[in-house]
Structure 1
Amino acid sequence: MDNVKNDNVKVRATLVTKEYDLYKKKSDKIKSLFKFSRNNIPSFWALKGVSFEVKDGDSIGLIGINGSGKSTLSNIISGIIPPTSGTMEINGEPTIISIGAGLKNN
């Protein structure tokens, strides 16, 4: 067999992060649009520095406890939400299947 390396990368994440601002009230979100200082707004890091590659023909699974960033990463891969920083390279159409959909909360 030839020693041919398959470099056909379908998904490449490089240091992907996602940060959400935690507003106490909806009015605080609107007020923040007009303020020059955002120092008083706490934030939550859903993802910090995630990097991986998925090559043609590979399948991946995201496993973790509630709040670990599985849905956030899926949404970024799907293009539903943008990352706060880092790069997400998608070559083709990713297929996202959520087996949690329809399951009971037990």
Structure 2
Amino acid sequence: MPTEHTESTEQEIAVFGVVPPSVCSVCSVSPGFVYAGMTKVWLDSQEDRQETLDRVNSMHPGGRIGTPEDIGNLVASLCTDLGGFINGVNVIIDGGLTTMLHH
């Protein structure tokens, strides 16, 4: 489903003759809990790091939090022919956590 962000970006680049999806596609990526940046700092500062990590991992249907590589692999796929038919959407990549929270 298109988001305000992807629709607005498509409109902005259209003035330059770039009309998705014929020339490019416009997507956004919404990563969930990823072991990087402030999440890594927070997790590494916990008194019982492993217990906290186990608890956070258990909240995710996939049994773990994401990695920078998970996010990078998605973005890389969107930038190849593999993602050529994906356009105007926001991809939530959170190991299924969002779907679990909605039930």
Specify if TM > 0.5: no
Q: Which has the higher strand share?
A: 1
Q: Going by fraction, where is helix more abundant, 1 or 2?
A: 2
Length-normalised TM-score, structure 1: 0.24
Per the normalisation by structure 2, the TM-score is 0.24
